[in-house]
Structure 1
Amino acid sequence: MLRMMGFPGQYVQGPGALQQLGGTLAKSGWQRPLVLCDAIVTNKVWPQVAAALESAGLAARHLLFSGECTRAAIAALAAQARENSHDVVVGMGGGKALDTAKGMALALDVPIVICPTVASNDAPTSRVIVLYDDAHRLEGAEFLKSNPAAVIVDTQIIAQAPARFFAAGIGDAISKKFEAAQCKATGRNNVFGTPPLHTALLLANATYDTLVKHGAAAYRAVQDRQANEAVERVVEATVLLSGVGFEGGGLSLAHGLTRGFSAIAALAHTLHGEQVAFGALVQLVVEARPQAEIDELVDLLCAVGLPVTLAGLGLPPSRSSEAVARIVDATLGGQISNLVSPALSPGRLETAIWRADRIGAGALQCRKRSDNSTRHQVLEKT
């Protein structure tokens, strides 16, 4: 049976990497780039990028991303772009801006170059275009004809972004080991519609191992706005390894739950990686993984400030019972009940969500007691 994976044409990572954008475009023969980014990136990053493009002899046009990746937004931006016969689209920013840029490139039938300014998810390397509606609810997905022509990751810029985004990237990536393994175990196909190559499973496992080893240290560095070697390792894992690994290995319950989470208004502005982080904990509970594996995952999530409870995800306790029932309905309505073995029933999924919530609450209490004990010891010594 044929097996398939996809990779970006080029991957460049490091401090100051965006200065290579003009040269990358020019060497590929592109002369009329269209750059899409939001207002914040326009103010903080676009001036230096525009200067770099100009120094490479390229006259780039810039369009503003409004904030939501919808079919209507993509169509409107593509209509504006058609006036100038651009030969490449450059997406700069976070996940939704990048997916909108991908949608434009697909509509215009030109290549896409991706320049993430936050490492909040693994969208940069993939063909997937995740679509939402105007209420921020997950609507569906489309696909580029091939993976991005180039991905340029400036870790100096990544380290200046709020640490919450960096943590969300860890949350989005941490599940891939378990999701790829579940896809293989249940005989499911990957994003390319084929069984996974072993390489995809190796990348998904390497992603997890890297995050467990370096995730907490990298998060602390980004809190101090420093780009050190731990940050470089984690960015490589959350952007490159995770991105290639999930496309080649496949997704499962941790990501399936985001359809349910995004159906709850109180969670509409929760970051994708924050939802996946709690979804990963639920998946491990559903799979009845050994307690040591669950504890290792929870420890990392807590260390980087990711949610391990429904309340941490943003769900008010007074509304949690009704909301969990809706999350289960919306998740299973996405036809993911057979993505784990044995197949999920509504009752089994709801039980797992509540058990994951209790596990997370217990871990937070333990950390709180440990922190208080440490503070008391310091006070006694002083």
Structure 2
Amino acid sequence: MPDFISRVGPQQYIAGNHVYKYLNDYFRNNSIKKALVLHGEKALLAAKKYLPDSFLATKVQYRKFSGECSPNEITGVAAQIINEGFQAIVGIGGGKVLDTVKSVADRLRIPLILLPTLVSNCAPWSSLSVHYHTDGKFLDFDTYEHSADLLLLEENVLFDSPKAYFVAGLADTLAKYYESELILTEEFIHGKTALEHAAYFAKRCQRIILGQGIQATVDMEKHIKTKRWLEVAETVIVTGGLVGGFSDQYGRATGAHSIHDALTQFPETHAILHGLKVGYGILVQLVLEHKLEEAKEVLIWLRTLNLPTNLAELGLENRFEIKEKIAAAAVRKDKMIHLLPLNVSKEAVYEAVTGVEELNDNFLREREQNGVF
């Protein structure tokens, strides 16, 4: 078996204004006569005015997404495609919608077309899906043979999407660097071009998100579509996706995402966006690595964007039982946190979670001492 497999990205990718018009050409060029569209309710409303007025030679049917990328949803969508003879599947929505159609397309080996309506993660680009139980608890993830056949980024739809998802996407993309930093070292990647590319893109994620992310958020709040906002948006979807696309497991998710997964066992966190939990996970990972100064820098950045940096802000109590459950779930044998070249034990993660609480306390104490409230 190879050490890693690069699945770099979609076969076709178009970003810009009114790019959904290409759908008719794509359907015709690939002899697709019947396609099923899985969509979120709000997502379809956002995308509808940019979709073709009519599909000239293709029958298109719409199906509303259930809300979770769960085995039940995947099986139900796949059954409809088989029973009604659809030749392709289209996803319109956020990460969970797109992950669902990726799972279905892989199972049935049919063309996969993605129209993301949020800038919240790299799901549109990546060749994997994260699966959840119907109650929102993390289940597992699958990696597929290839990414989307067609990815269309409509700038107007993405720019008009909720700011909260954009900000969550910033945190999720920032994790690309911190989760791969200890793995994609110069010594490890030397002579491996794909891994060298992954390391480059991971560093670019950090530079652009920390350097331009906050101001891009302000641009979005003011509804001014700047080149800066466009660059940050494509960094979330494209550059973030290229990290894992080139490096497979070495650049997809390690510590921060393992903490995210552990947090999903608590119902209190289910309404909190994926990227927000990952952002908190970055702090835990950095404390686990004993990088307290970097952890403080990330904490300040997260707080500037009003993102959660401690258990209370995640709706959880700072109690032994809570922290022990997080630690135990984060270090299960199947968790990618074990790719880190560290002593990753339940005890070490428990201490890191406790350390993040102390980091918050110290930060607030310093602000009070400096007269900042």
Task: Mark yes or no: TM-score above 0.5.
Answer: yes
Alpha-carbon shift at residue 250 of structure 1 (Å): 3.5
Match of 1:20 among 19, 22, 26: 22
Aligned-partner Cα distance in 1 for 2:120–2:126:
14
8 Å contact from structure 2 (residues 256, 281) kept in 1: yes
Match of 1:219 among 198, 205, 217: 217
Tell me the SS of whatever aligns to 1:326: helix
Aligned-partner Cα distance in 2 for 1:95–1:314:
23
Alignment length (residue pairs)? 364
Aligned to 2:122: 122
Residue 323 of structure 1 pairs with residue 325 of structure 2: no
Aligned-partner Cα distance in 2 for 1:184–1:106:
29
Equivalence map 1:227-376=2 (5 Å): 227-247=225-245, 248=247, 249-289=251-291, 291=293, 293-317=294-318, 320-336=319-335, 338-363=338-363
One-letter amino acid of the structure 2 residue matched with residue 38 of structure 1: G
One-letter amino acid of the structure 2 residue matched with residue 323 of structure 1: I
In structure 2, do the counterparts of structure 1 residues 39 and 220 end up closer, same or farther at CA, with 3 Å as the change threshold?
Answer: same
In structure 2, do the counterparts of structure 1 residues 12 and 313 end up closer, same or farther at CA, with 3 Å as the change threshold?
Answer: farther
8 Å contact from structure 2 (residues 254, 338) kept in 1: no
Gaps of 5+ in 2: none
In structure 2, do the counterparts of structure 1 residues 302 and 50 end up closer, same or farther at CA, with 3 Å as the change threshold?
Answer: same
Q: What is the TM-score when the length of structure 2 is the normalising length?
A: 0.88
One-letter amino acid of the structure 1 residue matched with residue 45 of structure 2: N
Alpha-carbon shift at residue 111 of structure 1 (Å): 1.8
Aligned-partner Cα distance in 1 for 2:22–2:219:
25
Instruction: Summarize deviations over 1:328-374 as a string: whole Å, max 9, x none.
Output: 1111124445322322122211111121233245446767898968x
8 Å contact from structure 2 (residues 37, 90) kept in 1: yes
Aligned-partner Cα distance in 1 for 2:221–2:199:
31
One-letter amino acid of the structure 2 residue matched with residue 275 of structure 1: K
One-letter amino acid of the structure 2 residue matched with residue 330 of structure 1: A
Instruction: Summarize deviations over 1:135-190 as a string: whole Å, max 9, x none.
Output: 2111011233211112111222122222110011111110111212233369999x
In structure 2, do the counterparts of structure 1 residues 26 and 221 end up closer, same or farther at CA, with 3 Å as the change threshold?
Answer: farther
Aligned-partner Cα distance in 2 for 1:343–1:25:
51
Instruction: Summarize deviations over 1:11-57 as a string: whole Å, max 9, x none.
Output: 22234333433334434443422211022223332354252xx2554
8 Å contact from structure 2 (residues 183, 341) kept in 1: no
Aligned to 1:377: none
In structure 2, do the counterparts of structure 1 residues 184 and 224 end up closer, same or farther at CA, with 3 Å as the change threshold?
Answer: same
Aligned-partner Cα distance in 2 for 1:367–1:18:
49
Alpha-carbon shift at residue 208 of structure 1 (Å): 1.0
In structure 2, do the counterparts of structure 1 residues 335 and 81 end up closer, same or farther at CA, with 3 Å as the change threshold?
Answer: closer
Aligned to 1:87: 87
Aligned-partner Cα distance in 1 for 2:21–2:226:
19
Aligned-partner Cα distance in 1 for 2:138–2:188:
22
In structure 2, do the counterparts of structure 1 residues 39 and 299 end up closer, same or farther at CA, with 3 Å as the change threshold?
Answer: same
Alpha-carbon shift at residue 300 of structure 1 (Å): 2.4
In structure 2, do the counterparts of structure 1 residues 31 and 300 end up closer, same or farther at CA, with 3 Å as the change threshold?
Answer: farther
Alpha-carbon shift at residue 239 of structure 1 (Å): 0.5
8 Å contact from structure 1 (residues 37, 93) kept in 2: yes
One-letter amino acid of the structure 2 residue matched with residue 265 of structure 1: P
In structure 2, do the counterparts of structure 1 residues 152 and 360 end up closer, same or farther at CA, with 3 Å as the change threshold?
Answer: farther
Equivalence map 1:127-166=2 (5 Å): 127-166=127-166
Gaps of 5+ in 1: 374-382
Aligned to 1:171: 171
In structure 2, do the counterparts of structure 1 residues 251 and 160 end up closer, same or farther at CA, with 3 Å as the change threshold?
Answer: same
Tell me the SS of whatever aligns to 1:231: helix
8 Å contact from structure 1 (residues 186, 340) kept in 2: no
One-letter amino acid of the structure 2 residue matched with residue 304 of structure 1: L
Aligned-partner Cα distance in 2 for 1:370–1:55:
62
In structure 2, do the counterparts of structure 1 residues 105 and 294 end up closer, same or farther at CA, with 3 Å as the change threshold?
Answer: same
One-letter amino acid of the structure 1 residue matched with residue 285 of structure 2: Q
8 Å contact from structure 2 (residues 74, 100) kept in 1: yes
Alpha-carbon shift at residue 89 of structure 1 (Å): 1.1
In structure 2, do the counterparts of structure 1 residues 224 and 202 end up closer, same or farther at CA, with 3 Å as the change threshold?
Answer: same
Equivalence map 1:4-153=2 (5 Å): 4-6=5-7, 7-46=9-48, 48-49=50-51, 51=53, 54=54, 56-153=56-153
Alpha-carbon shift at residue 86 of structure 1 (Å): 2.2
In structure 2, do the counterparts of structure 1 residues 171 and 83 end up closer, same or farther at CA, with 3 Å as the change threshold?
Answer: same
Tell me the SS of whatever aligns to 1:92: strand
Alpha-carbon shift at residue 97 of structure 1 (Å): 0.7
Q: What is the TM-score when the length of structure 1 is the normalising length?
A: 0.86
One-letter amino acid of the structure 1 residue matched with residue 36 of structure 2: L
Name the structure with the higher helix share: 1
Alpha-carbon shift at residue 287 of structure 1 (Å): 1.2
One-letter amino acid of the structure 2 residue matched with residue 49 of structure 1: L
8 Å contact from structure 2 (residues 18, 50) kept in 1: no
Backbone CA RMSD of aligned residues: 2.8
Determine what percentage of the aligned residue pairs are the same residue.
Answer: 24
